[in-house]
């Protein structure tokens, strides 16, 4: 492949990956804003009976509410620093890799958009809004948001890539 075409393909693929991250970021920020405007905190709106609710929960902890009950003042600072370091790592991988397979590119883009959105919330207000409540009978998975979903799906893409790549 001539070098000029290879450069164009690389630029185009990075633009697509950036667009995916941007869609996740904007979508997550928008859904969180809608939840904060429309659902009072701790309210529950059934969507699929015995399966799915919308709720409004504020999470000052890590993923799935880990450490949310901790009163430690350093918790938010630590979460911001770790999140920023991980984001810098993801951006560095995408930037330095010349031939990123689509599974890895999409996975890293989803992780980037979700992690960036949650990081912005933590810096801005010290917490994130979670609103998806999945449950079965009395067992409720910890509430989560669109950013969390994108991060998990993105990690799934990376796992698939490493399991099935040559």
What is the DSSP-derived secondary structure letter of residue 50? T
User: Is 138 a residue of the active site?
Assistant: no
CA distances for 4 relative to 14, 97, 147, angstroms: 16, 17, 36
The catalytic residue among 28, 121, 133, 148 is 148
The answer to whether residue 148 is catalytic is yes
* Residue among 69, 130, 133, 138 flagged as catalytic: 130
The answer to whether residues 97 and 129 touch, using CB atoms and an 8 Å cutoff, is: no
Written in H, E and C, the secondary structure of 91-146 is: HHHHHHCCCCCHHHHHHHHHHHHHHHHHHHHHHHHCCEEEEEEEEECCEECCCECH
CA angle 18, 66, 149 (to 5 degrees): 30
- At 13 the three-state DSSP class reads helix
With beta carbons less than 8 A apart as the criterion, state whether 40 and 24 touch: no
Query: What are the residue numbers of the active site?
Result: 130, 148
């Amino acid at each position: 492949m001539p070098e000029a075409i290879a450069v164009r393909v690389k630029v185009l693929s990075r633009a697509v990956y950036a667009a995916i991250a941007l869609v996740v970021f904007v979508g997550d920020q928008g859904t969180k804003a809608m939840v904060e405007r429309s659902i009072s905190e701790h309210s529950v709106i059934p969507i699929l009976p015995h399966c799915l609710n919308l709720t409004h929960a504020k999470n000052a902890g890590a993923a799935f509410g880990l450490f949310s009950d901790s009163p430690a003042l350093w918790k938010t600072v630590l979460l911001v620093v770790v999140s920023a370091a991980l984001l810098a790592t993801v951006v560095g991988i995408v930037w330095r890799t010349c031939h990123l397979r689509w599974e890895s590119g999409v996975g890293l883009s989803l992780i980037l958009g979700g992690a960036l959105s949650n990081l912005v919330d933590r810096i801005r207000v010290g917490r994130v809004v979670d609103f998806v409540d999945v449950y079965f009978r009395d067992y409720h998975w910890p509430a989560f948001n669109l950013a969390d979903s994108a991060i998990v799906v993105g990690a799934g893409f990376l796992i698939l890539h490493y399991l099935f790549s040559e």
